[in-house]
Structure 1
Amino acid sequence: MAKFYFEDFQPGYTAEYGPRLVTREEIIAFAAQYDPQPMHLDEVAAQKSMLGGLGASGWHSCGIMMRMICDGFMLDSASMGAGTVEEVRWQRPVRPGDRLTLRLTVLEARASKSRPDMGIVRIRYEMLNAHNECVMTMVTPAMFGRRPAEASS
């Protein structure tokens, strides 16, 4: 039985997960396979880029965030998926050695009009480095099952 249901995500609810260490090797491995731009693969080229040093691909950062979401609560929830992502912003480079923390804040929660067994929760995620600097944000509505009567007791 799930631990988290729609009813657990009320506006203003916050939670934090992590930290998660990001390594040089994983930055380069991800980039080599999915985003082979020089600033993600090579320290010398990265120094000359707008990143000013080796940095993770934004898509790698998205993957890290999703893993932290899954490990933090999603795999233990009545998640029914998400139909869209409203916004993703990469605000600072994710560097080798960064320890990332994920903060979620519930912005809105509403019961589905067409599906009484489901609610829609609009969540803002912020990924922070060890200096508490925001490296990435994402805003997305997520669908969660309503708590069944037998789970309420």
Structure 2
Amino acid sequence: MRYYEDIEIGDTEEFGEYHVTKDEILSFAEQYDPQPFHTDEAAAEDSAFGQLVASGWHTASICMRLLVDGPIQDRASMGARGVDELRWHQPVTPGDTLSIRTEVLEKRVSESDRTRGYVDTKLEGITQDGDVVISWIGLEMVARRNAGDE
């Protein structure tokens, strides 16, 4: 298990692989983001995208899953305070395979609860071609190993 003390500013990781299908794009969009360029191939061809594209929220959900299956599973994570700077850089299309890259930008001990620290990490979702499709800064809370010793 990795605790707050084990995490260093500048730590980077790349991991995961998630293949995005047309059926999944349609299913997610029909339930959560039913805009025509996410739910109708013909309408999508006449959109600014020129083809069916995944909802940005779908892309964010995929990246969150990769994050949970990756570094969060062996980290003493206590959840997150939110995300900053969420950006969709370009659309995800059927057949894309996504992975993620993370970089620790900042860390500090909580002033109100010394049992945890805050770790701000930039996440980028990347296609099989190396294109960044989404990014955000996660504001994670991580348990401290030796908080009771202070």
Question: Shared fold by TM > 0.5?
Answer: yes
Consecutive unaligned residues of structure 1, counting only runs of 5 or more, are none
Match of 1:58 in 2: 56
Match of 2:115 in 1: 117
Partners of 1:23 and 1:126 in 2: how far apart?
20
Query: In 2, are the aligned partners of 1:4 and 1:73 still within 8 Å (CA)?
Result: no
Give 1:41's match in structure 2, choosing from 39, 42, 48: 39
Query: In 1, are the aligned partners of 2:4 and 2:144 still within 8 Å (CA)?
Result: yes
Partners of 1:4 and 1:49 in 2: how far apart?
45
1:10 is displaced (CA, Å) by 1.1
Match of 1:97 in 2: 95
Secondary structure of the residue aligned to 1:28 is helix
Partners of 1:92 and 1:106 in 2: how far apart?
23
1:110 is displaced (CA, Å) by 1.0
Match of 2:67 in 1: 69
Superposed CA RMSD in Å reads: 1.3
**TM-score normalised by the chain length of structure 1:** 0.91
Identity of aligned residues (%): 46
1:22 is displaced (CA, Å) by 0.6
Match of 1:141 in 2: 139
Q: After TM superposition, what 4+ stretches of structure 1 lie above 6 angstroms from structure 2?
A: none
Moved more, 111-120 or 89-98: 111-120
CA offsets per residue over residues 105-142 of structure 1, 9 Å max, x none? 00001112222211100110000001100000011211
**Structure with greater proportional strand content:** 2
1:82 is displaced (CA, Å) by 1.1
Secondary structure of the residue aligned to 2:27 is helix
Secondary structure of the residue aligned to 1:107 is strand
Letter in 2 for 1:81: G
Query: In 2, are the aligned partners of 1:39 and 1:54 still within 8 Å (CA)?
Result: yes
Q: How many residues align?
A: 147
CA offsets per residue over residues 46-77 of structure 1, 9 Å max, x none? 11111121110011111111111110121332
Match of 2:82 in 1: 84
Match of 1:127 in 2: 125
Query: In 1, are the aligned partners of 2:83 and 2:136 still within 8 Å (CA)?
Result: yes
**TM-score normalised by the chain length of structure 2:** 0.93
Consecutive unaligned residues of structure 2, counting only runs of 5 or more, are none
Partners of 2:42 and 2:146 in 1: how far apart?
56
